[in-house]
Amino acid sequence: MSKIADNLKKVRDSIASVCAHCNRNVSEITLVVVTKSANLDAIKQVVRLGCTDLGENRVQHLKLTADDIEAFIKQNPDDTALPQKINWHMIGHLQRNKVRQLLKCSDTIHSIDTLRLAEEISKDAEKLDLCPKILMQVNASEEPQKYGVPVGAAVHLAEQIATMPNIKLIGLMTMGPLTLNKDIVKACFIRVRELFEEIQGEKIAGPDFNHISMGMSQDYEVAIECGATILRIGSAIFA
């Protein structure tokens, strides 16, 4: 088995075992493979291994990689291991002037943290006749250098975004704090889970609001225990 296949198997096995341990169904979890530091051959490998959800944190790189992978799939119509289509997730900080370009190649955006950005997405999506899925990024670790709406402002922003016509608000996203202390990470993830339940419980965002995107290579096991439905994992697979 190649290194990447082996790493991917380890990640998938560990997701399954944590799910079993906390009575969750593996089918509730989407693994987004973060390709930002991988080369094209490595990305082709994970696609052949059944990964259909890929994530990038820069618009330009997402577009280039999405084009390359689409061409690869088209050039190999007889390869039954290849999926028909890849879902590209934008997971990094997004500038308003890149929105229109992004909407043409990604339909799930994890990093909405201001009203102006949400308005830009809705406006551009309307022109392109699209309705992208978006997640609101929350800064639950309260590290000042991080992007994301502060926890205290999150419900209000969700209310505003939920009224926009060409956006489907599907959940919350967060980045765990930069520490190996599991208790601190867990406290942060639980805060996001509680916020998620509050927004869902008060029916602020409608029936599609079902996702919590949290958990990266260092902390995805804790994230699953705390209710994550989307994991964003890069280095555990490609390093």
Residues that bind ligand PLP (CB under 6 A): 34, 36, 57, 91-92, 175, 216-218, 232-236
CA distance 64 to 231: 23
Determine whether 123 is exposed, middle or buried from the number of CB atoms within 10 Å of its CB (0-12, 13-18, 19+).
middle
User: Considering beta carbons, is residue 177 or 234 the nearer one to ligand PLP?
Assistant: 234
Query: In the bound complex, what is the minimum distance in angstroms from residue 229's beta carbon to ligand PLP?
Result: 15
User: Considering beta carbons, is residue 52 or 235 the nearer one to ligand PLP?
Assistant: 235
User: Considering beta carbons, is residue 135 or 233 the nearer one to ligand PLP?
Assistant: 233
User: Considering beta carbons, is residue 61 or 156 the nearer one to ligand PLP?
Assistant: 61
Query: In the bound complex, what is the minimum distance in angstroms from residue 163's beta carbon to ligand PLP?
Result: 27
Residue 208 C-beta-side C-alpha neighbours within 13 Å: 11
Helix (H) or strand (E) holding 138: strand 133-139
Query: In the bound complex, what is the minimum distance in angstroms from residue 75's beta carbon to ligand PLP?
Result: 28
In order, the DSSP letters of 37-56 are T--HHHHHHHHHTT--EEEE
User: Considering beta carbons, is residue 38 or 154 the nearer one to ligand PLP?
Assistant: 38
Give the CA angle between residues 188, 137, 70 to the nearest 5°. Answer: 120
Query: In the bound complex, what is the minimum distance in angstroms from residue 135's beta carbon to ligand PLP?
Result: 11
Residue 167, number of CB atoms within 10 A of its CB? 22
Residue nearest to ligand PLP (CB): 234
Query: In the bound complex, what is the minimum distance in angstroms from residue 233's beta carbon to ligand PLP?
Result: 5
